[in-house]
Amino acid sequence: MEYDDLELKNFISYDLGNDLAAFGRLDFGFKDAAEDDENGSNLEEAFVGLKYGVASVSFGKQNFATDEFGIEEAIEVETIDEDRFDDTGTDGDDTIRVDVELDKVYFAASHEMDASDDDDGIDGEFYDLFVATDLAGLELAAAYQVWNPVDLDDSVGTWGLSASYDFGFMNLAADYSVSDWSDVGTWEEEDMTQYNVAAVFPVASTTDVALGMGNKDSDAWEEDITEWYANVTYKFPAQKNVSVFAEIAQSDEEYDDGDDAELGFLAGMRVKF
């Protein structure tokens, strides 16, 4: 048995008057501890902040602005990443983040201070930007990240674009992201691209069906991997916080021993409280 997610989220906000509010979040994840039959937990988010009107600023352990990017609808991604930002990094321990929510535009920017933590996998300094807008049912988004690794002379630049449109009977979305870097004597010149396409069909008020595929193409690693998936989610009418789901997925990845990836299947239950 595998846990897709096992979290306890705590969020609080206090009205300070004059349209000013203070907030904080504490998020513990127990997924790895549960699967490895270990005691303990993993602190996933811990930050505080202030909000004034449509803008907020927060400090601490939290997601980068580019974590907002992506349209992938898979329950479990195995042979590719969700997008290029998911591969380079989308969260940090010492992150400053600004969010601005207007009527038709959402903007976020974040900065992860220069650090190296082998235990948490955090390596270097990150600058992230994300912007999204809604135009008559068409949702457009763009993201950009600069990563300055601790032990490398060059930086990694990643950008992405996405679009999503609600046709009523289905929601169709696609994204495209690219990361590139070079470091003489350490990393090869590389241009890694990824695209995703996904469609979600609300076949009933309680049931959604999703179909999608993603492709990751790396010049330096000579990889070109395509993964597709189909899943269904059912929410119980009496309690929408309880749902069951199932998914099948396949990839054209070839392992080192020459074997191809096999068709995968999963089924599970989700309870929110």
pLDDT tens per residue, range 170-213: 999 999 999 986 654 555 567 889 999 999 999 999 999 999 99
Average pLDDT estimate for 211-230: 87
Instruction: Tell me if 211 is assigned to some domain.
Output: yes
pLDDT tens per residue, range 128-158: 999 999 998 899 999 999 998 877 677 889 9
By residue range, what is the domain housing residue 200?
A: 54-271
* pLDDT at residue 220 greater than cutoff 50: yes
The residue whose two tokens read 């811990």 is: 46
- Model pLDDT, residue 226: 92
- As a whole-number percent, the residues of the chain with pLDDT over 70 amount to 85
* pLDDT at residue 127 greater than cutoff 50: yes
* pLDDT at residue 23 greater than cutoff 70: yes
* Residue 113 to residue 124: CA distance in whole angstroms: 8
Q: Find the range with the poorest average confidence among 15-19, 206-210, 220-224, 237-241.
A: 220-224
Res. 73 pLDDT band, cuts 50 70 90 = very high
Instruction: Tell me if 30 is assigned to some domain.
Output: no
Instruction: Tell me if 3 is assigned to some domain.
Output: no
Average pLDDT estimate for 21-32: 89
Instruction: Tell me if 164 is assigned to some domain.
Output: yes
Taking the alpha carbons of 140, 243, 213, 195 in that order, is the dihedral positive or negative? positive
- Model pLDDT, residue 216: 92
* Residue 165 to residue 167: CA distance in whole angstroms: 6
Of residues 51 and 1, more confidently modeled = 51
- Model pLDDT, residue 122: 62
Instruction: Tell me if 104 is assigned to some domain.
Output: yes
Contact predicate 185/167, CB 8 Å: no
Instruction: Tell me if 47 is assigned to some domain.
Output: no
201: domain CATH number?
Answer: 2.40.160.10
Average pLDDT, the chain: 88
- Model pLDDT, residue 142: 99
Instruction: Tell me if 123 is assigned to some domain.
Output: yes
What does 87-126 look like in DSSP terms, one character per residue?
HH-SEEEEEEEEEEE-SSEEEEEEEEEEEEETTTTEEEEE
- Model pLDDT, residue 76: 85
Average pLDDT estimate for 11-36: 88
Q: Report the domain count for the chain.
A: 1
Which residues 6+ apart lie within 8 Å of 118 measured at CB?
none
- Model pLDDT, residue 258: 61
Average pLDDT estimate for 38-59: 88
Instruction: Tell me if 223 is assigned to some domain.
Output: yes
pTM for this prediction = 0.89
